[in-house]
Amino acid sequence: MSKPQAIPDPILYNDWHVVCQSFDLPEGSLRSARLLGEDLVLWRLAGEAKAWQDLCAHRGTRLTLGRLQEGTLTCAYHGWVYDKDGQCIKFPSHPEQRPPPTAHVKTYRSAERYGSLWACLGEPSSDIPTFAEWDDPKFRKILCGPYVYNASATRAVENFLDVAHFPFVHGGLLGDEAHAEIQDYEVETRSDGIEARNVIVWQPDPDGTGRGKTVNYTYRVLRPFTAYFMKSTDEGKFAIQLNVTPVDETRCIGWMCIALDYSEETPDSELRAYQDKITGQDIPVVESQRPERLPLDLQAELHLRSDRIAVAYRKWLSELGLAFGTS
């Protein structure tokens, strides 16, 4: 069965997306990734990460099969050698011939921030979304993921924004069926995204420390596939930024960065394992949802007052004109 074809979507093609975590791309290594239906080759040269189309300009062979040598990338099929800018500089079968400018790999903009490598297939319409806690020394930062969903990125993000499922999908951790009621809260949609404030719920174990407490959430949607929450308690603050990579229309990868300013005694490994468990509970539910692409017509599904964030998210995506992963 062939993979779904990407729908050209300028909103997403001109945005930044996480393609791997920085520590997974050491110097001298090649790594494959897929973004918006496009196969990429990732590699690092003199500390700088590169993101190219995974396609040799000669016969379309995957460059991830090649090798890095003396600051160049050599294709495994016919040995074409590409410099750091993607220009072929050598035809081994015709060493006397100077490669023309057309012998060039398609290269993409890339940048590293928040412990991850980001890529943009087009021309970035804005900067990489801000995660303020990353630069705040009071917060400990922990990277989590990748989390693979056989579902659209829109469904994965909406699940992250949903609080009413906590008692049923994450019982004993983020919720309790005896405390399933969701109080009213505020939602504001601005030109730069969405913010929901004073989302108050009781959670048996809200952060992996094993201590139950009432928490107050602030949610933000910063990009179509970047969402954030800050969870405040009497102990401190716990934040997560979720970046969802749209691999194809019905497959995506979630990457999370946790930041917290308390519970120094809890090891990173335990906090990461907790988030792995939470996301592992979410994935089969999200993968089961139909239609696979998120309906932006609000009449297509029923909504309650507790769905206020999801409704705002769908309206905002519709106003943006997002097509990829929606119906």
pLDDT digits over 173-225, tens only? 999 998 899 999 999 999 889 999 999 998 999 888 888 888 999 999 999 99
Whether residue 279 sits in one domain with residue 212:
yes
By residue range, what is the domain housing residue 97?
25-120
CB 190 within 8 A of CB 181: no
Helix axis angle, 308-320 to 153-161, nearest 10°: 140
Answer with the one of 64, 93, 120 that is the final residue of a domain.
120
Query: For residue 68, which amino acid is it?
Result: L
Locus of tokens 């929901």? 196
If asked whether residues 138 and 237 sit together in one domain, one would say: yes
The answer as to whether 127 is a domain residue is: no
| HSE (side-chain half, CA atoms, 13 Å) at 77 | 10
Beta strands 213-223 and 193-203: pairing type?
Answer: antiparallel
pLDDT, mean of residues 43-54: 93
The 3-state DSSP class for residue 315 equals: helix
Residue 12 lies inside a defined structural domain of this protein: no
Give alpha helix (H) positions in 148-267. Answer: 153-161, 166-169
**Predicted confidence (pLDDT) per residue in 289-311, tens digit:** 999 999 999 999 999 999 999 99
Indicate whether 1 belongs to any domain: no
Q: Is the pLDDT of residue 4 over 80?
A: no
In whole angstroms, what separates CA 38 from the centre of its chain? Answer: 16
Closest CA to 121 of 24, 20, 51: 51
